[in-house]
Structure formats: structure tokens, C-alpha cells
Chain A
Amino acid sequence: MALIERYQKTTDISYWEGQIPMSYIYTVGRAGEKFFREMMNGRIFGAKCESCDVTYVPPRTYCEKCFARLEDHYADVGGKGTVHTFTECHEAYDGTKKQKPSIVAMIRIEGTQGGIVHWLGETHFKDVYIGMSVEAVFKAKKDREGGILDIKYFRPIK
């Protein structure tokens, strides 16, 4: 049977069940600390490399192009951007059908070369287009936890 046929019933063969018993605690890092603390204030921060004329969003401690240290170059980049590309998702990550499809967009933050992937809200799939101006909608201040979901979604700027 081996190598020729696929087994049909687990009772036909010996097998075992196992798992890799690991869990993790991830630090957000030095640049992430700045990014998420500012997010709790309702602000989006980036990091600018003067010599490469690039602004990274989210901020980083270093410029990947020239390796300059950027920790003294964090700046508020505002909450506005444009839809760089987008999709509408009908299936969840476990393969099940989503009750309500969600719109996911890559948002290029204005004046930067970086961006944030997030949901679009207060709009309909048929109304979204590449190049659409959008802005971040934050959760109420008391509900913010210092994570990317402190932004509820981005919505079209009317």
C-alpha cells in the first residue's frame, strides 16, 4: 500500500497524534513601542530617513536601504492616506464562510513610502477604488490597548 495508494481509513495504518507545544510572547520592539504608544493617543507615527528621503510607516529603528539609525527621526505622519490596492474577503482564515464579507486594503499613508494593511469601513465594495482618499477611524480612547486594532478601520474622506 505504501507509496502506491493513499490510505482510506486511519484504522488501516498505525499513526500517532502530536503537537508542538509552544506559545510566544512577542515584544513590539523599540520602534513598535513608539508606534503603539502614539496610537493610543490617536496618532500614526513613521520614521524618516533623510539621506534616502524615505518615510517608513510603521516606524523602524533603521533604514533598510542605507542602515542609518532612525530612532531620532520618528514623526507624526497624520491619519490620512490613499487606497493602494484592496480586496473583499468572503472566507475566514480557517476556510469557513464569513457571515459578512470584509474589505481589506493596503493604505499608503500620505507623504510616506510606508503603509498599513487594514479594513475599510463606512463604505461598500462597489464604491471602493484604487487611489481613493481614506482616513483612520480610532476606537474610543478608553478602549485603546496599544495594538493595530486601536484603529477600527479606514473610511473614505467625504
Chain B
Amino acid sequence: MRRVAIVGAGLTKFVRYAQETPKELAYEGVRMALDSCEMKLSDIECVVHGTAPDAFDGVHMKGEYLSDASGAYRKPYMRHYVGGGTGVLSPIHGWFHVASGMFDTCLVVTEEKMSCAYPHPAGAFLTIFDHTTEQPLYPTLIWIFAIEMNRFMTTHGYRKEDIALVAVKNKKNAIDHPSAQLAAEITVEDVLNSEVMAWPVNRLDISPTSDGAAAIILAAEHVARRVTEKPIWIDGVGWALDTAYWCTRDLYYPDYVEVAARQAYKMSGIREPSKEIHVAEPYDPFTYKELHHIEGLQLCKRGESVQMLVDGVTQRTGNLPCCPSGGALGVGNPIAATGLMKIIEIFLQLREEAGKRQVPGKPTCGLAQAWGDLMQVGTVVVMRS
């Protein structure tokens, strides 16, 4: 397999109600990615698109609808979809196209416009649950996370006030992100005093619904060396799905993230992730999910993620910065675009182009991870400078 580099990236602002159509959002992301590395659309050989349920934008066969705005006019094009895990699957999908030798360049685009869904995109989730055994209970996404969070907290003896520090950290980090929707200086008390959505999940434990798009450009080594002096290599990829029967899983631990991470680490030759990964972007749609995923990613032992957080290890200036971008909690969560936003953050961190968000110590190895589908997919990408 050939080496594959990220050579350019574009990211729109994340907002709650975008005037732009989904197509116009996708175009803005792609235009920025092309401009970032001075490439033309004619330099792109193929396009992959990641976007989550059609039910968000309210356009059936959304991948096809978004194709021209994603630069795919008369080009080989594929859309993929693994729910919230989509944004980190998207570079993996593009990586295959280039690593295989089939194409020298691949444009990877992700888009989500959740504000179309009315009164709330959460309505789209009712029908992901089993129609006979679960739908009659009118489940919401928030209460399934609430029962997972409770299991996670209780198993490890974590306290809600400690988990709330994730929101404090990420929303603060987002202040330095030009795309951020919910950047803020908040306190643990603010989180604990915010409205209870489904105990133990409060409003400030949750990422917002967002509109936005992100794009990156992948290139084979000989092209990457021509395009940029600072290619960032996709060095390990992994993804895995657990059973779709969620009652069969023990929710306290994301085994599927571990499987995906181990696949990526093996490919990248990583034996001690907590030492060899310098900066990470675990998926943080809820406060506890950042911790849940840090454990699944083997960045600490099970049950130690809260201590890491409390000790400041995951702060931007800590030994293992997590979500220096501000994450889904701070930058926003236009589902598929969020995962790619995380990939772009690691790209910028490893190029030392993250500006005020730059983590110290010249990181050379980073990781982005996302999670989704029926709460059972893990997607992981390891990158190196």
C-alpha cells in the first residue's frame, strides 16, 4: 500500500441556523480546502463524501444531492455513512482510494445541516430503535446516553462534578477556534446547574446541533511532496462495529473503540498509545463520552480517565492534550463534519499551524476518533508529521 498524506483542509464556521443550503455549505468547505493548498478542482481525481442520516438535511439520497457541491462533477464518487462515526471514517475511505494506487488525489468532504429538521433533529432518531421492543417507549438519544453515562459513572465511581470538567475545558478551548459555535468560559457549577435533560445528563453536558461542512485533500507521496512542504501522513486506520443489540453490550466500556484503535495502532507500530500519541481528538458529543473514548483508545487504564482530567493531563498544556480544538462540545457538532473537524485539528497541530490552539512540545503523532451509528461504531485515524 502506498503512503497517503493530507495536504489541505477547509472548515466552515459551525452555526445553529445556516442560511446556506447543504450544497452551499459543502462548496464553502471544499473551496477552502482547495485554496489552502493552491490546488484546482481539476487536480482532484476522485471524491468521497461523508454525511450522516438523510433525515437531518431532509434530502433523501443526500450523497447524490451533495455530489456537485463536493466537486464530484463527472468524477468517481462514493458516499459513506456510519452516523456520528462518519467524519473519521471519511478520511479512511479516501485513504483506501489513494493507498490502493487507484488514484493519486482524493477530495474528502463532509457536511451536515441539522437545522432543516423541525422541530428538532432528535426526531430522526426515534426510528433507529427497535420498532417493536423499544419504539413504543418513545426513546430519545439523550436518555440512552444518560443510561450509558450512569453505567460508566457507577462502574468507576466517577462523580458528575468531575465529568463536568470536560465541558469546562472544551468550551474554553473553543474560544480560540474560528469555527466555534459554543465557545465559553464556564464553571463546573454552570454545568451542574444547567437544565437536567435526562439524569445524569444536563444541558451543558451535551454538544449542540449544528450546520457545517469540512473537507480535506489526500494525496499519494509523489504528489504530496510537490504540493506541500508539510504533508501529514495517515499512518494508521481502524474501525469496528459492535452488536446492534445494545442490551447485549456492557455500556461502561466501548469495546468497539478499543478494536478500532488496536487496528490503527498495529498499522502505525504503536505499542504504548498513552506515551506515543502526543495529541488526541476523541469524540466528545457528551462530556462523559470524551472520557469513555479516552479509555477505549487505551490512552489510560480503565477507570483512570477522570484522574487524568482532574490532574490537567488532557488540558492543551498537559502531557496528553485532548480536544485542543474545543471538540464537539465547544466548536459544535454538525455530525459528519465534526469528525473531519477533529482530523483537521490534528493536521494543523502536527503542522504547528494551530495558532492560539497550538499544543506545546512539537507533536509528531496524533489521533482523531469518532463514534456513532447505533452507538456501536468506533472510527480511529493515527496521523504523523
- Taking Cβ atoms with an 8 Å cutoff, the residues of A that contact B are 16, 18, 20-33, 60-62, 64-67, 69
Contacts and interface: CB of A to CB of B under 8 A. Distances in A.
Interface SS of B by simple majority: helix
10 nearest A-B pairs in the assembled complex, by CB-CB distance: A29-B21, A24-B58, A64-B68, A67-B41, A64-B73, A62-B27, A29-B24, A24-B116, A20-B127, A25-B118
Contact of B126 (A20, A28, A31, A60): A20
A30 B24 contact: yes
B80 interface: no
Most A CB within 10 A of own CB, among B19, B24, B117: B24
Interface string B115-128: 11111000110110
Given A20-B124, A22-B117, A64-B73, 20 more contacts: A16-B131, A18-B131, A21-B126, A22-B55, A22-B58, A22-B118, A23-B119, A24-B117, A25-B116, A26-B116, A28-B21, A29-B19, A29-B23, A29-B24, A30-B19, A60-B23, A61-B20, A62-B31, A64-B68, A69-B31
A60 B68 CA distance: 11
Contacts of B84: none
A21 B123 CA distance: 6
Contact of B27 (A33, A61, A65): A61
Interface of B: 18-21, 23-24, 27, 30-31, 34, 40-42, 55, 58, 68-69, 71, 73, 115-119, 123-124, 126-127, 131-132, 135
Nearest to B71: A67
B20 A29 contact: yes
A26 B58 contact: yes
Contacts of B55: 20, 22
11 contacts: A20-B126, A22-B55, A24-B58, A27-B116, A29-B23, A30-B19, A61-B24, A62-B31, A64-B69, A67-B27, A67-B34
Contacts of B31: 62, 67, 69
